[in-house]
């Protein structure tokens, strides 16, 4: 949604003494979005064919700079950087030996040093050739820095995007909201509103990497391709690559900061399949499946997925759906999106947050907290003392082992405690509640609820479960799963004890109840309150 600027217009005579009839007109003005700030106002017009790239040879000159030639490795990494642009937009690049190619790129080791430039690239002019110059003595221009995630690789992508018509977010006809051009070090260290002015959101920023990650080096921790805002700007001009990553993809979070690991930041552009962002290590991680919103708000440039202490990971481009998240053995946070997600916390004390789709969430081992929104969700707590919260849909929640807290909240939910002494609350809706093994406390909440007892271990006589809010004539106690031909009072005895009721079941008719259920705050139960 675009932001609209509202103005108040008042008419008055020049000397405050005049009178007459005035006609006023006003035009609604839309403020630029973050993506709009990257539009340099020019574009290539010949992208129906591959853009040809000529590496200017040693001794040849372009733009007054004499090239010192390119090694095979430098050429290869340059083309890899261009491939990251082709991955997201409907443009391809091909190396050429034609000295009049579309892109003519110079590598120089001394003539740019006086200006401190890492490189520059001229904006496009229709189908005319564009010249780019790169500093072979600049920071990050070495074997490691030219890998994805290194400063050299990031410089190539940044400058090539100038050659495709993208601008910095801090200059041009519009700049990112919140930037202060009067600051002494502008634009360095000035992140603007919602910290959008950094490479993890747009590689066109002068602030490299991600300001909340550990310090990076020239060899890792920078953007490894166009980021979410860049992708949107490119696709507005040239269209999207609609076939890239169309199968089932697994995006693994990096586990180390290493000069030769290629650790850096990448915005995922994925066009299909059943996809996963995953991690298998021991660090705490955050995995967020929400795509960039492209607005001035949290998540405008994307939501971060990364391991704690690692200067690299992923955001997700606008329009992309990643379905699944799976973490390792740390204490992790996994957040879903609006689609049907599968979130797996695995080891550690994890926090899982479902989105608006019908999600399946696994806490697995550890004491986990699980939350859901709308949709029909399925939650498995696994082992550990879990807190499991349903949303507004008809959810199915299974506590597993451990003393769990289960809240159905809204909707008609199926809630099962599993092993352990669980606290189960149905909330609104007609809920089905099964305490399972252990001494459980069950609260139905609003609606016609059913409390289920299917085995003696569900409520042993000396460790009785408690129902806290049974509504006579509305709720039911279901003991049909025992497979017993119940009669009152021989096999099932209901006893009023002041304000409470005790239910005892003697399945083998030996005079000793094996099963007991305490119903607090209510008396006068009859066969009509049971499913036998």
DSSP 223-258: B-S--HHHHHHHHHHH-B-SSTT-S--EEEPP----
**Residue of higher predicted confidence among 512 and 22:** 512
Does residue 68 carry a catalytic annotation? no
- 288 part of a folded domain: yes
Burial 28-60 (b: 16+ CB within 10 A, else e): eeeebbbbbbbbbebbbeebeeebbbbbbeeeb
How confident is residue 29, by pLDDT bands cut at 50, 70 and 90? Answer: low
CA distance 55 to 71: 10
**pLDDT above 60 (res 2):** no
- What is the per-residue pLDDT across 103-114, written as a single tens digit (0 to 9) for each? 999 999 998 876
How confident is residue 77, by pLDDT bands cut at 50, 70 and 90? Answer: very high
**pLDDT above 60 (res 5):** no
- 457 part of a folded domain: yes
CA distance 368 to 350: 5
CA distance 490 to 473: 23
CA distance 432 to 416: 8
As a whole number, the mean pLDDT across the chain is 92
CA distance 518 to 532: 18
How confident is residue 329, by pLDDT bands cut at 50, 70 and 90? Answer: very high
β-bridge pairing 432-434 and 450-452? parallel
With tokens 């440039």, the residue in question is 301
pLDDT at position 486 is 64
pLDDT at position 1 is 28
- What is the per-residue pLDDT across 481-509, written as a single tens digit (0 to 9) for each? 876 666 666 688 999 999 999 999 987 78
pLDDT at position 27 is 61
CA distance 515 to 377: 32
pLDDT at position 261 is 76
- 244 part of a folded domain: no
What is the DSSP-derived secondary structure letter of residue 472?
T
Domain count, the chain: 1
393-398 average pLDDT score: 97
How confident is residue 23, by pLDDT bands cut at 50, 70 and 90? Answer: low
- Tell whether the torsion through CA atoms of 205, 171, 115 and 59 is positive or negative: positive
CA distance 301 to 228: 6
- How far is the CA of 259 from the CAs of 95, 118, 143, 197, in angstroms? 28, 20, 9, 25
- 276 part of a folded domain: yes
**Structural domain of 382:** 250-484+524-531
Q: Are 337 and 354 in contact (CB under 8 A)?
A: no
- What is the per-residue pLDDT across 159-216, written as a single tens digit (0 to 9) for each? 999 999 999 999 977 999 999 999 888 999 999 999 999 999 999 999 999 999 987 7
pLDDT at position 197 is 98
349-375 average pLDDT score: 96
426-455 average pLDDT score: 96
**pLDDT above 90 (res 397):** yes
What is the DSSP-derived secondary structure letter of residue 237?
H
- What is the per-residue pLDDT across 37-62, written as a single tens digit (0 to 9) for each? 999 999 999 999 999 999 999 999 99
- 422 part of a folded domain: yes
- 355 part of a folded domain: yes
Residue 340, token pair as written in the block: 């049907």
- 269 part of a folded domain: yes
pLDDT at position 3 is 35
- 381 part of a folded domain: yes
CA distance 390 to 20: 65
Q: Which one of the listed residues 10, 61, 74, 159 is annotated catalytic?
A: 159
**pLDDT above 70 (res 20):** no
3-state class of 81 per DSSP?
helix
- What predicted TM-score, i.e. pTM, was given to this entire model? 0.91
């Amino acid at each position: 949604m675009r932001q609209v600027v509202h103005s108040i217009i008042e008419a008055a005579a020049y000397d405050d003494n005049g009178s007459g009839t005035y006609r006023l007109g006003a035009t609604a003005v839309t403020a630029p979005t973050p993506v709009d700030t990257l539009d340099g106002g020019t574009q290539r017009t010949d992208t129906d064919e591959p853009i040809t790239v000529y590496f200017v040879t040693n001794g040849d000159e372009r733009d007054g700079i004499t090239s010192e030639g390119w090694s095979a490795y430098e050429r290869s990494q340059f083309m890899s950087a261009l491939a990251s642009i082709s991955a997201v937009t409907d443009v391809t690049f091909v190396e050429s030996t034609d000295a009049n190619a579309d892109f003519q790129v110079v590598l120089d080791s001394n003539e740019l040093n006086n200006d401190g430039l890492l490189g520059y690239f001229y904006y496009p002019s229709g189908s005319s050739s564009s010249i780019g110059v790169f500093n072979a003595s600049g920071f990050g221009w070495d074997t490691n820095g030219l890998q994805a995630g290194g400063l050299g690789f990031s410089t190539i992508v940044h400058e090539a995007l100038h050659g495709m018509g993208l601008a910095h977010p801090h200059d041009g006809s519009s700049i990112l909201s919140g930037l202060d051009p009067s600051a002494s070090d502008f634009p360095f260290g000035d992140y603007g509103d919602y910290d959008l002015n950094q490479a993890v959101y747009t590689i066109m920023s002068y602030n490299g990497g991600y300001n909340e990650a550990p310090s990076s080096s020239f060899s890792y921790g920078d953007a490894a391709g166009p980021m979410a805002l860049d992708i949107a700007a490119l696709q507005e001009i040239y269209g999207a690559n609609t076939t890239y990553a169309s199968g089932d993809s697994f995006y693994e979070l990096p586990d180390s900061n290493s000069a030769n690991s290629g650790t850096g930041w990448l915005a995922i552009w994925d066009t299909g399949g059943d996809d996963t962002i995953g991690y298998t290590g021991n660090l705490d991680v955050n995995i967020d499946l929400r795509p960039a919103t492209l607005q001035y708000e949290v998540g405008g440039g994307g939501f971060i997925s990364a391991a704690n202490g690692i200067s690299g990971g992923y955001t997700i481009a606008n329009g992309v759906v990643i379905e699944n998240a799976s973490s390792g053995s740390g204490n992790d946070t996994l957040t879903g999106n609006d689609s049907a997600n599968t979130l797996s916390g695995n080891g550690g004390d994890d926090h899982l947050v479902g989105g608006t789709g019908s999600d399946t969430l696994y806490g697995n081992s550890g004491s986990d907290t699980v939350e859901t929104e709308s949709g029909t969700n399925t939650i498995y707590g696994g082992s550990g003392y879990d807190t499991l919260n349903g949303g507004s849909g008809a959810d199915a929640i299974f506590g597993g082992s451990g003393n769990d807290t289960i809240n159905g909240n809204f909707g008609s939910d199926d809630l099962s405690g599993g092993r352990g002494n669980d606290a189960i609350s149905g909330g609104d809706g007609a809920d089905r509640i099964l305490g399972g093994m252990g001494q459980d406390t069950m609260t139905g909440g609003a609606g016609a609820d059913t409390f289920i007892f299917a085995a003696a271990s569900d409520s042993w006589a000396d460790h009785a479960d408690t129902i806290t809010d049974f509504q006579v004539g509305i709720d039911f106690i279901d003991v049909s799963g025992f497979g017993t031909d119940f009669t009152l009072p021989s096999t099932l005895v209901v006893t009023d004890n002041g304000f409470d009721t005790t239910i005892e079941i003697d399945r083998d008719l030996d005079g000793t109840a094996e099963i007991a259920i305490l119903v607090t705050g209510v008396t006068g139960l009859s066969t009509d309150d049971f499913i036998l």
